[in-house]
Amino acid sequence: MILALTILTTLCLGLMIGTEFSVSVFINPILRRLDIPGQARAIPLFARRLGAAMPFWYAASLLLLIGEAIVYRHESGDVLVIAAGTIWAAVIILTIVILVPIANRMAQLNSDAFPQEAQREYDKWDRLHRFRVAALVAAMICHLVAIQI
């Protein structure tokens, strides 16, 4: 049972981080190469699609980390599992407070225009998203080291 939880947690976190990483490293740079009308059409599509799935995925990942914190309490890696969960929770808060409102505005863009203010917000979202990816990687490292100890 513990092994299944560890495998499921590792898969859930790894796939989430991989998806977020691909947005930062592959999708956003490609979107930037589109002309302005192309960006105005593509960005809302990604924002709506990812915005529909990510809340559940983030919550499931946090619940799995909480489950691991309970299972691994009093074990040698318990502090690292708690650190992973704490980082993950902080990322969720950052996401809800700052990134989701920006993404919601991007999802509502008119496909004919991408005003300067929206472009600045998208740039801000992209910078903060990179920080989010780094924090998620840190959480994953904590998780992986904890299960190896």
Q: How many CA within 13 A on the CB side of residue 42?
A: 15
pLDDT at residue number 40:
86
Residue ranges in the chain modelled with pLDDT below 50:
none
**Cβ–Cβ < 8 Å for 31, 39:** yes
122 close to 10: Cβ distance less than 8 angstroms: no
101, amino acid identity: P
Query: Biggest alpha carbon distance in the chain?
Result: 57
Do the beta carbons of residue 144 and residue 87 sit within 8 Å? no
- What separation in angstroms does the CA of 97 have from each of 23, 51, 123, 149? 20, 14, 17, 34
State the distance between the two ends of the chain, measured CA to CA, in whole angstroms.
18
Are the CB atoms for 147 and 6 separated by under 8 Å? yes
pLDDT digits (tens, 9 = 90+) for 26-36: 999 999 999 98
